[in-house]
Structures are given as C-alpha cells and as structure tokens.
Chain A
Amino acid sequence: EAGVVQSPRYKIIEKKQPVAFWCNPISGHNTLYWYLQNLGQGPELLIRYENEEAVDDSQLPKDRFSAERLKGVDSTLKIQPAELGDSAVYLCASSRGQAGDTQYFGPGTRLTVL
C-alpha cells in the first residue's frame, strides 16, 4: 500500500512570492491533515479535512494561508504571500476517519523563504 505522497520535497522562494504544496493521502483514508513543523519542535495542526469539508481550521492563518481538498482526495496548501517566518516543514497526514485512528505522515515539504 502506498503511503502519503507529498510534493515538492523542497522549495526555496523569495519573500512575498506565492507557494503551493500538494498531498495525496493513503487510499481509502477520509481524513487529511496539514501540519506545520518548526525546527526543533513537534508538528502543529493547521487544518483537518473530513472528506471535502474543513472541520478544523482554527490554527490556519487565513490572511495568507489557504487550503482545499477537491473531491475529497488530494489536497493543496497555499501561502500567498510568503514571509520569512513561514520557513518550516509542512507535513501532510491521513487517517481512516475515526477519532483516535492512527495518522500516517508523508515525507513533508521543507520550505525556505529568503
């Protein structure tokens, strides 16, 4: 069974530029998560989708971040415009859908904003 796929693995951009990250969850997993991981810290949830619906986006900075999960499968996370402080690893995870189900993580996208 294929794991969570993310692309790109690395992205370097200049501040004020837009950037997008893509995630394909494990087949059959209804719930999809985007996490932010700063250097030396644990991941923090940005947004959680159940199928197409964003059920928890309370930690997503909506002035510059947006996300979508069309058709309840793949998801895209966008930042526009990027700031220096956005440099971090963006992790995508998926689970079957019940609370407490194991979340499986992708390899992440390491973003560097110059």
Chain B
Amino acid sequence: AQKVTQAQTEISVVEKEDVTLDCVYETRDTTYYLFWYKQPPSGELVFLIRRNSFDEQNEISGRYSWNFQKSTSSFNFTITASQVVDSAVYFCALGSGNTGKLIFGQGTTLQVKP
C-alpha cells in the first residue's frame, strides 16, 4: 500500500528562522514521483516541486530546498530565512508510476511570526 506520513502537524517559527518539513513515504512501486504543494489560506494548492524516483539529486530554488533520500524513504523540504508569506499548509504527495494517482500526507501547518 502507498502511504505518506507528515509527522509534524503544526510548526511555528519566527521570521528569518530556517525550518524543515518532514515527509516519509511508503511504496512498492519501483517508479514513483514525489511532490510538494503549498496551500495558503486562500485554499488553492500550489505546485512547488516534482521529483522522480530515479533522481536523488537535491534541489534548491531560491529559499526552498529539497532533500530526497531513497534509503530512508524521505523527501524533506527546507525553507531558509522564512518569511511571513510562507505561512501555509504544506502537503507532500506520492504519485504512482503506473497510474499517476496521488496520495497526499496529512499536511503540515507552518506559521511564520513576524
């Protein structure tokens, strides 16, 4: 069975702090895809990043970085120098390489205080 676990329900930090959101997944697929989405208070899910199971290179995009480790089945997301606008719910999702079906974690609510 496929499963995504985001153990951190809520995180609160002060602006400019670094914060890491954890994501652990389970799958039997050899080909799969991992995603992070941001859901601000407006409600729309905003795509942040997609990785496939064959590409373990870490990625950095501005203040965002992602650490994909197949050995620990983790795909963690770090925000450097957090800002108030980063406050949102962040979802990690696992996509099947066969069906494309997305399984989402429960989400982590990030609150960045000024």
Binding site for B on A (CB under 8 A): 31, 33, 40-45, 48, 56, 89, 91, 93, 95, 98-108, 110
Neighbouring B residues of A33 by C-beta, 8 Å: 102
How far is the CB of A37 from the nearest CB of chain B, in Å? 9
Chain B interface residue count, Cβ-Cβ cutoff 8 angstroms: 28
Binding site for A on B (CB under 8 A): 4, 31-33, 35, 37, 42-47, 50, 52, 91, 93, 95-102, 104-107
Pairwise interchain contact A42-B101, C-beta atoms closer than 8 A: no
The answer to whether A44 and B50 touch (CB under 8 A), given A100-B95, A105-B44, is no
Neighbouring B residues of A100 by C-beta, 8 Å: 31-33, 50, 52, 95, 97, 100
The answer to whether A45 and B107 touch (CB under 8 A), given A89-B43, A100-B33, is no
Nearest A-chain residue to B96, judged by Cβ: A99
Instruction: Say which residue of A42, A106, A110 sits within 8 Å of B91 (CB atoms).
Output: A42
How far is the CB of B3 from the nearest CB of chain A, in Å? 11
How far is the CB of B59 from the nearest CB of chain A, in Å? 14
How far is the CB of B66 from the nearest CB of chain A, in Å? 15
- Which of B91, B99, B102 neighbours the largest number of chain A CB atoms within 10 Å of its CB? B102
Closest 6 A/B residue pairs (Cβ): A42-B104, A99-B100, A105-B45, A100-B33, A107-B44, A102-B50
Pairwise interchain contact B107-A42, C-beta atoms closer than 8 A: yes
Pairwise interchain contact B106-A91, C-beta atoms closer than 8 A: no
Neighbouring B residues of A105 by C-beta, 8 Å: 37, 44-47
Nearest B-chain residue to A103, judged by Cβ: B102
- 17 A–B contacts from the bound complex (CB under 8 Å): A40-B107, A42-B4, A42-B93, A43-B91, A44-B104, A56-B101, A89-B43, A91-B45, A98-B100, A99-B96, A99-B97, A99-B98, A100-B32, A100-B97, A101-B100, A103-B35, A105-B45
